[in-house]
Amino acid sequence: SDLARHPSLKIGLSNEFMQRADGWPGVRAAYALPQTATGLDHDLAYRALQSGAIEVTDLYSTDAEIPYYRLQVLRDDRHYFPDYQAVFLYRKDLAQRSPAMLK
């Protein structure tokens, strides 16, 4: 909700996030954001942040680039996004192929 208090921020979001129902349209409505976002290729987002072309973008909170660029991840205080739980998946025959991996 802090983002709503800064209407002049330049927001550049991945084209995918711009079009997803659970992306920009939903976030903008849930947080009553006054800003207009520009779509961009996700690969360009960090360079755009670094150059000052944009000031806000979408990213994965586990992205290794966050500490490198010293970015601040905003808290989702309205719990718009679901918690994504990571799990390990492996092939059924792993125990036969590499038993040491499962110890």
How far is CA 50 from its chain centroid? Answer: 17
For 58-68, write each residue's pLDDT tens digit: 998 889 999 99
Q: What is the pLDDT at residue 21?
A: 87
Superfamily classification of domain 1-103: Osmoprotection protein (prox); domain 2 (3.40.190.120)
Of the pLDDT bands very low, low, confident and very high (cuts 50, 70, 90), residue 53 is very high
Of the pLDDT bands very low, low, confident and very high (cuts 50, 70, 90), residue 95 is confident
Least confident segment among 17-21, 50-54, 68-72, 92-96? 92-96
* Domain residue ranges in the chain: 1-103
For 26-48, write each residue's pLDDT tens digit: 999 999 999 999 999 998 999 99
How far is CA 23 from its chain centroid? Answer: 10
First to last CA, the chain: 45
